[in-house]
Amino acid sequence: RLRLHDGKLIKDRRFHLRTYPNCFVAKELTDWLIDHKEAPDRETGIRLMQKLMDHYIIHHVCDEHSDYKDAKLLYRFRKDDGTFPLSKDVKVFMRGQSLYEKLVSVEESILKVREENSVKYQRTFLGCEMVDWLVQEGEVENRQEAVELGQALLEHGIIQHVSNRHHFFDSDILYQFWINFRRRRRLTELLNENSSRALSESPDSPFCLRKLNPEPGNTSFLSVQTNKEIKIVSAVRRSSITSLSGSSNPYFSAAPTLVFPPVAECNPKSVLKRPVTNEELLSPGAPYVKKTLTIVGDAVGWGFVVRGGRPCHIQAVDPGGPAAAAGMKVCQFVFSVNGVYVLHLDYQTISSLIMTGPRTLVMEVMEAIE
């Protein structure tokens, strides 16, 4: 957007006796994307702009078109007309970017390259240093507010503990900015952001429950679907990571054709007796213990269902599957997946992390102490 302003592609334009401020012509912008190597061809440029429309970043000046047309039509960035939706997530992201820019632009910044356990980390700071700085700079009123801000930044993936083992605390624990806000990003990155998530919603997901004691020749298993119905779907083999660039459904081989019995529909409720928040899980003295599980996936998957969000929980476990053998139980909360802190994520995102990761899954879970 800023580059388009600098290049005078965004400007006040007159059409049918009316002036539209701060807008651009779609066809001119597509030309610009190709000329500046932001898109290899017009088709990709159109897809990129459609992504921005889908994310409520740009829109037609009169909102007469819901899709991006490569024509002499006027569009505008919502930031330029005050219609950009400032959700909580967006506000936290923008606050993180503002703090990062402020930190990197001052002399003697607390952001430094530091080493822990013989590993060097970029853009690091101590939790107590960040709290001191936030209070001194007037970004917050007190240390408690600073801790709450740090926790929000961590839960939104902007900062993280260097080894993903701790939430944000006012202590000498080492953290880093996970996002380098000054790295120039290419628009084409938008086209790959949701591919793995979409696959996690597939009825052939490896997170489905397998049927217990399957009959010979019948490899179907039960799956708790996102639409809260229980359906019988065909089991598939989890393909290797080396086959990710192949067929139209690269994560799985073709499912066998089976004749299924009638679908049993119901509305399975959460196995949790009551909702549990991240604050409750992480509060000092909370009745939860953390366990590390190593699960080696088999030909079907890992044999569990994860549901919910912030935090996610284990909804169901196949008693004869790899997850059960590793000690997984229903009602456990998912703390980390392959070293990535995930308490702030929804189950679709966690499913994507698991699906695109190695066959051997390392999960940290939090379990209530009986």
pLDDT tens-digit readout, 256-265: 333 333 333 3
What is residue 348's DSSP assignment?
Answer: H
Based on the domain organization, do 297 and 317 belong to the same domain?
yes
Based on the domain organization, do 54 and 133 belong to the same domain?
no
Q: Do the domain assignments include residue 138?
A: yes
Query: How confident is the model over 267-290, as pLDDT tens digits?
Result: 457 889 899 999 899 888 889 999
Query: How confident is the model over 300-311, as pLDDT tens digits?
Result: 778 898 998 889
Q: Do the domain assignments include residue 206?
A: no
| pLDDT category of residue 349 using cuts at 50, 70 and 90 | confident
Q: Do the domain assignments include residue 27?
A: yes
Q: Do the domain assignments include residue 265?
A: no
| Mean pLDDT, the chain, whole residue set | 78
Number of H helices, E strands in the chain: 10, 16
Asked if residues 229 and 336 have their Cβ atoms less than 8 Å apart, the reply is no
Mean pLDDT computed over 63-88: 89
Mean pLDDT computed over 101-127: 90
Q: What is the pLDDT of residue 194?
A: 52
Tell which wins on pLDDT, 8 or 216: 8
- Please report, for residues 173, 302, 323, 345, 357, the alpha-carbon distance to residue 360 in angstroms, rounded to integers and kept in the order given: 29, 9, 11, 21, 8
Write the CATH number for 171. Answer: 1.10.10.10
Q: Do the domain assignments include residue 82?
A: no
Tally of CA atoms within 13 A in the half-sphere of 167 that contains its CB: 18
209: enclosing H helix or E strand? none
Q: Do the domain assignments include residue 103?
A: yes
Which of 77, 100, 126 delimits the end of a domain?
Answer: 77
Beta bridge partners of 77: 58
Domain that holds residue 48: 1-77
Which of 14, 47, 77 delimits the end of a domain?
Answer: 77
Based on the domain organization, do 132 and 70 belong to the same domain?
no
Based on the domain organization, do 94 and 57 belong to the same domain?
no
Based on the domain organization, do 35 and 58 belong to the same domain?
yes
Least confident of 23-32, 233-242, 317-326: 233-242
Is the confidence at residue 1, as pLDDT, over 80? Answer: yes
| pLDDT category of residue 249 using cuts at 50, 70 and 90 | very low
Percent of the chain surpassing pLDDT 70 = 79
Based on the domain organization, do 71 and 131 belong to the same domain?
no
Which of 177, 209, 230 delimits the end of a domain?
Answer: 177
Distance in angstroms (rounded) separating the CA atoms of residues 357 and 338: 8
Q: What is the pLDDT of residue 354?
A: 87
Q: Provide the H-helix boundaries in 75-125.
A: 88-104
Query: How confident is the model over 315-343, as pLDDT tens digits?
Result: 888 888 889 889 999 999 999 998 888 99
Tally of CA atoms within 13 A in the half-sphere of 141 that contains its CB: 0
Write the CATH number for 342. Answer: 2.30.42.10
Is the confidence at residue 225, as pLDDT, over 60? Answer: no
Is the confidence at residue 210, as pLDDT, over 70? Answer: no
Distance in angstroms (rounded) separating the CA atoms of residues 200 and 351: 6
What is residue 80's DSSP assignment?
Answer: G
Q: Do the domain assignments include residue 226?
A: no
Q: How many domains does the chain have?
A: 3
5: enclosing H helix or E strand? helix 2-6
Is the confidence at residue 200, as pLDDT, over 80? Answer: no
Q: What is the pLDDT of residue 84?
A: 82
Based on the domain organization, do 113 and 156 belong to the same domain?
yes
Q: What is the pLDDT of residue 268?
A: 54
Based on the domain organization, do 57 and 92 belong to the same domain?
no
Q: Do the domain assignments include residue 122?
A: yes
Q: What is the pLDDT of residue 266?
A: 38
Best CA proximity match to 127, nearest among 157, 109, 151:
151
Pairing of strands 119-126, 174-177: antiparallel
Question: What tokens were used for 212?
Answer: 């217990």
Query: How confident is the model over 119-175, as pLDDT tens digits?
Result: 889 899 999 999 999 999 999 999 999 999 999 999 888 999 998 888 999 999 999
Q: Is the dihedral of CA 173, 176, 178, 179 positive or negative?
A: positive
Q: What is the pLDDT of residue 163?
A: 86
Q: What is the pLDDT of residue 254?
A: 32
Based on the domain organization, do 107 and 144 belong to the same domain?
yes
Q: What is the pLDDT of residue 213?
A: 39
Percent of the chain surpassing pLDDT 90 = 41
Based on the domain organization, do 26 and 64 belong to the same domain?
yes
